[in-house]
């Protein structure tokens, strides 16, 4: 891959993460709250020969549509991520990061901002397992709720992130689980998920 193309892809991944960060509220001050913190996700699954970047918005939860929720409901999430497998597989170690911002005040903690670091990257083991353009990754991170609570080392798993077609809106989809109390699964109502081939410099 030439340097200009590599720089273009890298800037795209950074832009996706900054898009999500820009949508979140200021970080809540530390506090003691109770929430599910799950054990480390298991890598499992076959090795992956690609990496993923993505950013955007998810409104619907039924995976049947992608219409935006009403503005007053705030029932949507914004996100940005970049994730890749390690240079040797197995094991299915990975690297990268994820920002996930849940805007719905009826969700856990009155809504939250989550920053995760990727520790594994593989292919899905769910209903998207046969789809060669879907990846699975996860790790641990910090969850800041809007109700003045912070949790450290909360596990997360992107059960699948799928680059289905261009444009990503109405086609690409993502499913995430954070801790034991939150999940969202839907088709993108904004943004894009992109699969990239691995090269010598990833």
- Rounded to the nearest 5°, which phi and psi values hold at 10? -65, -45
Flag whether 170 is in a domain. Answer: yes
Q: Is residue 137 part of a domain?
A: yes
- In a domain, residue 22? The reply is yes
pLDDT given at position 90? 77
Are 54 and 169 contacting, i.e. CB atoms less than 8 angstroms apart? no
Query: Tens of pLDDT along 125-149?
Result: 899 988 889 999 999 999 999 987 8
In a domain, 123, yes or no: yes
Domain count, the chain: 1
Q: What's the pTM value of the predicted model, to 2 decimals?
A: 0.79
Q: Which of 157, 155, 158 is nearest to 179 (CA)?
A: 155
Strand partners, 66: none
Is residue 170 predicted with pLDDT exceeding 70? yes
Q: Let me know if residue 179 belongs to a domain.
A: yes
Percent of the chain exceeding pLDDT 90 equals 59
Q: In this structure, are residues 136 and 159 in contact, taking their beta carbons and an 8 Å threshold?
A: yes
Full residue range of the structural domain in which residue 160 is found:
3-197
Q: What percent of the chain has pLDDT over 70?
A: 76
Q: Bigger pLDDT: 24 or 166?
A: 166
Q: Enumerate the β-bridge partners of residue 98.
A: 81, 116
Tell me the sheet residues that pair with 52: 83, 195
- Pick from 164, 154, 170: which is nearest to 193 by CA? 164
How far apart, in Å, are the Cα atoms of 96 and each of 25, 115, 150?
22, 11, 22
Indicate whether 202 belongs to any domain: no
Q: Classify residue 8 as left (phi > 0), alpha (psi -120 to 50) or beta.
A: alpha
Q: Which two tokens stand for residue 158?
A: 């992107």
């Amino acid at each position: 891959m030439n340097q200009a193309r590599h720089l273009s892809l890298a800037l795209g991944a950074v832009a996706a993460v900054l898009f999500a960060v820009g949508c979140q509220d200021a970080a809540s001050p530390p506090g003691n709250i109770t929430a599910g913190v799950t054990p480390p996700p298991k890598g499992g699954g076959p090795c992956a020969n690609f990496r993923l970047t993505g950013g955007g918005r998810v409104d619907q939860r039924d995976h049947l549509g992608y219409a935006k929720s009403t503005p007053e409901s705030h029932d949507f999430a914004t996100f940005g991520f970049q994730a890749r497998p390690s240079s040797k597989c197995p094991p299915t170690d990975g690297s990268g990061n994820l920002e996930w911002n849940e805007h719905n005040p009826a969700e856990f903690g009155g809504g939250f901002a989550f920053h995760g670091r990727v520790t594994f990257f593989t292919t899905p083991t769910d209903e998207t397992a046969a789809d060669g353009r879907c990846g699975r990754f996860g790790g641990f991170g910090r969850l800041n709720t809007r109700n003045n609570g912070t949790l450290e080392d909360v596990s997360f798993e992107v059960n699948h992130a799928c680059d289905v077609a261009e444009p990503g809106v109405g086609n690409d989809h993502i499913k995430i689980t954070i801790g034991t109390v939150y999940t969202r699964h839907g088709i993108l109502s904004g943004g894009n998920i992109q699969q990239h081939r691995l090269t010598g410099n990833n």
